[in-house]
A and B are shown apart, each in its own frame.
Chain A
Amino acid sequence: MSGMRHGTRWGRATVPLVVGFGLVVAMAAATVNNVLGFEASVKIINSSSDTSMNGMSISTQRLQAVDAGFGMAPVQQSDGTWKNVLRAGFANATATGLCVSKTESLPVVGTYTIKLVAPASAGTITASNGVFDITDIVGNSDGTGINLKGSTQIGLATPDITTIFKDGQGLPYAPNPFGASTGDSPLDVWTSGVEAGSAPSPWVVDSKPHTFGGGWTGIDAGAADLSRISARLWQIQLTGNITLPGLKISVTQGASKCADWPSGPPYTNTTKYDGTNLFP
């Protein structure tokens, strides 16, 4: 027995025990986040908000999105007619400052504007699975403008653009996350010149016409960084969560649109494109 030490050397064992236990707890938390996609957030615009609106405007100081895409798509307007728009979307994004305005004219009431403003000073906006239908978007020169990052593809069929994961937690990506037409829009025309409503039999599969997105082109990017942008907006679809700190909603008489970007602290841009370095 002499010279022999028995029992646990707690000093030595404490480190792996504590670290191991901590990792068990952390792994459980990571599993919840990665597998279940759990995220605590305040849902100000709840899931499946789908608002068809004409003449909307939207602006933000900066929007940084991961898994972003832009694709041409036909959309049906509230009066039943169809329109070509650029559908832009992302899997996850943060933004600094946001303004959305919508002007309506009603009998008796007259013209009024509803405006949603989350000021830049109120904090970072987060959003997931957002889709915007736009016809005109401008990235201003005193920011980085429109900057696509990573592997960017131009020329894809719009339904081939990928943004969100199918089950929200990891691969595989969801097919056709923009819900772009694959042949069921009246604006789809077959090469024979026949429109979708009377598609020739070889192109009708499962009682549905199929064009697989041919004729609708788009851009897919690993990430997008858009600064000081303003856009004419036709529709918003937010299926994921969004947090809008400091949100203020106002209704005012008359027509009014968002400023080019929401007021707030000066835009601080450390990667401003000043034309001095083509390949930073």
Chain B
Amino acid sequence: MVRLLRQPTLRAATQATVFQRLFALMAMVVMVSLVLFWPNIRDHAGQALAQTQDNSYQPFNCGQSNSSSGQARRENLPLNNDSGGTANGHAYPCISGVQWRLVVGNTQASLADTNGIIGEIQGAYSTQWANGDGTCASATFCFAGTGAVNGLVQVSIKGLGFCSGANAPAFNVGNYSCRKAASGIQLYANSTSSQSYQPAKSYQLNITPSGPFNLGGSGMQTDIFATPSSEIQTSLSAIPAGALGCPVVGTTKGQGCTITLSSFSGSLAQTLAGGGDFPLSALNLTFYYLITHTGSTTNPYNPTEISGNSVTLPNTRISVGNGS
């Protein structure tokens, strides 16, 4: 202010003119300040609290059975991407302990030929989950209140899609394309599988698409924390060295190769898929937790991450039945 008044042009001006100019200057300051500090509470909070286990995003008290305070049972899960790298994101779920099943086809059946291709996995990377550097012990997957499981495999994929018919959807997996519609897709959670608490009156939550559904989409990544005994069946020809290579990683089933997730971990998935996609003829997946995210460094809880399709269930019935 003093320096402004000492400038020759201002010194010659009347007092009123100086105030007029200052008024104009103040208006500009107000405008700039407002642009800079425009209230955007939601975005601001999302940026400030990214990558943290925070009561703002996970406000429920996920405690232990003998304590009503703390977040002792909340997991700390580093998220990955399908190319074998970290997605730099974390999720902090309070896990129900109820197993979810995704069953399509029969992984133990012999695949007659490539006409059995009913879907694809886009990109894949899996690892023996050994983190858990949060409040739960290393490699321990804690459940709400009580109970835990060890030895889960973290499978990170770009997408999982099922066919609606021969050559439709029009995608190619290596030398393969859809050969028939995926039918009888079962996605359900049965409370009797819970290693945590179990409701006295058991239930089964059924999500039943009458046609193909897909998991993931453009710009999305999916992390699945599944049991090591979960199985996928792919075409024998999709395995490097074919019939010779399958016994190394799985079990030959006719023209198919059934692989458990325990042998799928590490970079094997990348090797099998040649760094890309591979066809799917059957799936038998048991998982405790699944999350879709953008694979970015932003917090997956950030409300800006709502644009991408993550789970598409066309013509689907969701029903509640008895679990027993």
A: residues with CB less than 8 A from B are 1, 4, 6-9, 12-13, 16-17, 19-21, 23-24, 27, 30-31, 34-35, 66-67, 70, 72, 74, 82-86, 134-141, 144-160, 162, 166, 169-176, 183, 186-191, 195, 202-203, 205-206, 208, 210-218, 221-223, 273, 275-280
- When distances are taken between beta carbons in the complex, the residues of chain B under 8 Å from A159 are 60, 94, 144
Interchain Cβ contacts under 8 Å between A and B, 11 examples: A146-B318, A148-B309, A153-B93, A156-B289, A195-B200, A206-B68, A215-B191, A222-B303, A276-B170, A278-B161, A279-B218
CA of A83 to CA of B147, assembled, Å: 25
- When distances are taken between beta carbons in the complex, the residues of chain A under 8 Å from B315 are 139-141, 145
CA of A147 to CA of B318, assembled, Å: 13
**Contact among A141, A173, A217 for B189, CB-based, below 8 A:** A217
- When distances are taken between beta carbons in the complex, the residues of chain A under 8 Å from B81 are none
A1 to chain B: closest residue by CB:
B12
CA of A152 to CA of B143, assembled, Å: 19
CA of A217 to CA of B209, assembled, Å: 19
**Contact among A13, A85, A151 for B301, CB-based, below 8 A:** A151
Q: Are B34 and A173 in contact (CB under 8 A)?
A: no
A67 to chain B: closest residue by CB:
B303
Q: Are B17 and A23 in contact (CB under 8 A)?
A: no
A8 to chain B: closest residue by CB:
B20
A150 to chain B: closest residue by CB:
B306
The reply on B110 being an interface residue by CB < 8 A is no
- When distances are taken between beta carbons in the complex, the residues of chain A under 8 Å from B308 are 149-150
- When distances are taken between beta carbons in the complex, the residues of chain A under 8 Å from B291 are 151-154
Closest 3 pairs between A and B when the two form their complex, measured CB to CB: A141-B315, A275-B164, A214-B196
The reply on B113 being an interface residue by CB < 8 A is no
Which of B24-32, B230-238, B243-251 faces chain A?
Answer: B24-32
CA of A221 to CA of B245, assembled, Å: 40
The reply on B9 being an interface residue by CB < 8 A is yes
Known: A141-B210, A148-B311. A166 touches B96 (CB 8 A): no
- When distances are taken between beta carbons in the complex, the residues of chain B under 8 Å from A150 are 292, 305-308, 310
CA of A30 to CA of B60, assembled, Å: 29
The reply on B151 being an interface residue by CB < 8 A is no
Q: Are A151 and B292 in contact (CB under 8 A)?
A: yes
A84 to chain B: closest residue by CB:
B203
CA of A24 to CA of B39, assembled, Å: 11
CA of A221 to CA of B31, assembled, Å: 38
- When distances are taken between beta carbons in the complex, the residues of chain B under 8 Å from A154 are 100, 287, 289-291, 311
- When distances are taken between beta carbons in the complex, the residues of chain B under 8 Å from A275 are 164-165, 168-169, 211-212, 314
CA of A171 to CA of B52, assembled, Å: 14
Q: Are B211 and A135 in contact (CB under 8 A)?
A: no
CA of A194 to CA of B287, assembled, Å: 27
- When distances are taken between beta carbons in the complex, the residues of chain A under 8 Å from B307 are 149-150
Q: Are A146 and B305 in contact (CB under 8 A)?
A: no
CA of A27 to CA of B36, assembled, Å: 12
B315 → chain A, closest Cβ, in Å?
Answer: 3
A195 → chain B, closest Cβ, in Å?
Answer: 6
A193 → chain B, closest Cβ, in Å?
Answer: 9
A269 → chain B, closest Cβ, in Å?
Answer: 11
Which of A21, A144, A157 has the most B CB atoms < 10 Å from its CB? Answer: A157
CA of A216 to CA of B143, assembled, Å: 11
Q: Are B319 and A202 in contact (CB under 8 A)?
A: no
CA of A146 to CA of B210, assembled, Å: 12
CA of A195 to CA of B197, assembled, Å: 10
Q: Are B310 and A7 in contact (CB under 8 A)?
A: no
Which of B214, B308, B310 has the most A CB atoms < 10 Å from its CB? Answer: B310
- When distances are taken between beta carbons in the complex, the residues of chain A under 8 Å from B309 are 147-149, 280
- When distances are taken between beta carbons in the complex, the residues of chain B under 8 Å from A27 are 34, 38-39
The reply on B316 being an interface residue by CB < 8 A is yes
**Contact among B146, B205, B214, B216 for A214, CB-based, below 8 A:** B146
- When distances are taken between beta carbons in the complex, the residues of chain B under 8 Å from A172 are 54-57, 59
Known: A30-B39, A273-B314. A72 touches B191 (CB 8 A): yes
The reply on B6 being an interface residue by CB < 8 A is no
- When distances are taken between beta carbons in the complex, the residues of chain A under 8 Å from B186 are none
**Contact among A16, A175, A215, A276 for B169, CB-based, below 8 A:** A276
The reply on B105 being an interface residue by CB < 8 A is no
- When distances are taken between beta carbons in the complex, the residues of chain A under 8 Å from B68 are 205-206, 208, 210
**Contact among B30, B198, B301 for A215, CB-based, below 8 A:** B198
B131 → chain A, closest Cβ, in Å?
Answer: 17
The reply on B127 being an interface residue by CB < 8 A is no
Q: Are B61 and A175 in contact (CB under 8 A)?
A: yes
Which of B23, B68, B147 has the most A CB atoms < 10 Å from its CB? Answer: B68
Q: Are B314 and A191 in contact (CB under 8 A)?
A: no
